[in-house]
Chains A and B, each alone.
Chain A
Amino acid sequence: MTTPDLQTLEALTQDYAEFDSRKSGLATALGGALALLVGLHLFHPVRVLAGPWWKIQATVVFLAPVLWLPLKQLLFHRLYRGLGPVKVSPDMAYEQKRWHWLFMTAMALMTFQTLTLLGILRGFLGVLSHPETLQQLPTKLPAVWTTWLWVAALPWLYLTIMPWWIKGVEEARAYLVLVGQGLVWIAFSFLQEGVSIDRGGKAWAVWILLAIQTGVIVWAIRTIRRGWKEHREYLALLRALPRES
């Protein structure tokens, strides 16, 4: 038998349990990579509501968090569960931190939904009271019902799957960034179409988007590096385990 000393046993168990319950390794890196892809994609200088780009961008931006969740679970089961589950000892402070990030995501989604629905309602009432403005609406706006469906259903979809699929602070943060990118994008795309940025109106919106996306890209690169580092730590942990007798 090649059992390590007691301190090493403790450390190995705690480290493995961390991967089971908190750390994500390559799953976090994948979240960062998706955020990076979406971030770089949003830099593309097209009028987002015009042409077929809108549908492509909408699909990429909104599906990124939904796509990430099953992929990260798959990675977790394939890479970090090889020796079965080991539950980490409860830590209230950590759990509070995790819920703090989940709560922030929920707040962002709820605020977004409320504001968007109010905006749509206001526009609808405006058209009712001034029917002549109907012809001034951009011709390529997505159908109202499609927009309603997106706005009404998507936040709930994001929220419903969130607490069960997100295990640690890093994952909660990655999820908030991926979801947040969608919210920023849709707010910006409506704003862009509404104020016609390329005619010089309210260019500050572009700068805000650029600042947010730059922040996201910096975060994404750091997250990819952290995820990769964690993965290497996990491989080192496996190597440190005694050989089977």
Chain B
Amino acid sequence: MRNLIMDLILTYIGTITFGVLLNVPRRGLNIGGWIGALSFLFYRLCMMANMGIAFANLIGALIIGILSMQAARYKKMPVINFNIPALVPFVPGGQAYQMVKNFALGNVSEAISFLLQVMIISGSIAFGFLLAEMVNRVQARLMLSVSSRWRHEHRHNPRL
């Protein structure tokens, strides 16, 4: 439990600082950090419930995608300001490193098994984003038909 809380704090810091490296505007940094920490919490919960690494990454990416879109609408900033920093804790860095190391040291079969893990993780992140995109489009369509204020606000707004 203490480990989990510690990890969440570290994820928050890591997300914000990665945002600084990408030159994310100052007003978007904090909310990006919260998105990173929250999606990482759900990822960890899925891992604790033994749902498998693919499903956990998919859930994490899905939550990042949905929350980033809400943040983008709220802050009126492009969505990449939020979802790229928030994705950093999900990068399969450990597996990618083990793959490179084993290739370099000549353990090809182990390297290929790590390569497969990297592919599984990145594939599920991509599909998580795809699902999030679908949720966002459905939401936009629903809001357009339900709320006249929404229709007015998004009349000629640039894409988020």
User: Is B truly associated with A?
Assistant: no
